Structure 1
Amino acid sequence: MELKPQAAVLPKEADLEQGKYGPVFPKTPACYGFTIVAKVKPGRAEAMREYGNTLAAALEEDPYLLAPLKLHYLRWVLFDDDTRFMYQGIFDTDFDKYTEDAIALFGKARVSTAFENLEGFPEDWKTNPEAFGRFVREHHCPSFIEYGEYPFVTADEIKKALRIKSALSEMLDQLQ
């Protein structure tokens, strides 16, 4: 099976069916995802950076901490002199499931979210997925085109292919 790179043009949000927490974006060759841009609460930029360090340390301790989110990538950016924050996430589930999984994950791990440092983020987000989803949707900057070098492939499929590649390489090395 040969995978060919693929792109998809996305419709405007107004043309999408509604899910629990807002528009249901179609799966694209890059899978699912969202980008938010929000104002950082005054004086909280360093707390955002420290949260990044805390998350990186937690992932060193437990590399599978974020596994329930089925992530491909996360990107966090502070810009405009650290007054605004951009979050980009690419993942394998639809937005509604991602929202519920994120809330469950943070509740189980008994940790907060960096989003608490953003203006307008709901204080009751741990018990109110609708408010969490509404915040994300209000700050979402939708894509109008997405591209996938390996279209529609899940993170689990990529990891499986890499395990098979490693096993085959090891087997071939033993034959020599």
Structure 2
Amino acid sequence: MGKTDKSDAIEFWLRGPVDGIPSFLQPAAHALLQSYKEIHDYLWDFPQDLLWNQLEGRASVGFHIQHMTGVLDRMMTYAKGEPLTDAQFEYLKSEGVPKEELTLTGLKSGFKDQVEVALAYFKGLSEDILMEPRSVGRKKLPSTVLGLLFHAAEHSQRHVGQLLVTASVLKSQRGKIN
């Protein structure tokens, strides 16, 4: 699958509301959709053998995608007022650990699936609960439902930026034209 065409060039925040998403969560929904689109667009030709390469000790492309997926899952769990599961802790420990079975296609698909789960969750929320307090982590740090969901979205965007730089440099080091 190649880069998207010009009809997809408009960023999600300029495409209007996402159907069924509460108004206050529109920016988070747009950011998550944009994150997936940018991963898809910028990594369509990224070589699998560079997935776990690190530059100057920085995170690999594979780590960034895994981490974005995990953070989105964990922030939604906290937003629901639930503790993390053993499976979520195991996933967290495995972020950035190269495994032969972890492919770029599989990681991108996993992030896309988690974005779809998040958007479905957003659709089921009433704006009335967005300011309800929630706690984060074992230390029970304070947040709100809105704060957690916004953080998941902006965190994804931050990692997309880092991922794009890493991918670009890795490809250029192989003599590819960006």
Q: Given the two structures, how large is their TM-score scaled by the length of structure 1?
A: 0.26
Higher relative contact order (CA 8 A, sep 6+): 1
Richer in helix (by share): 2
Q: Given the two structures, how large is their TM-score scaled by the length of structure 2?
A: 0.26
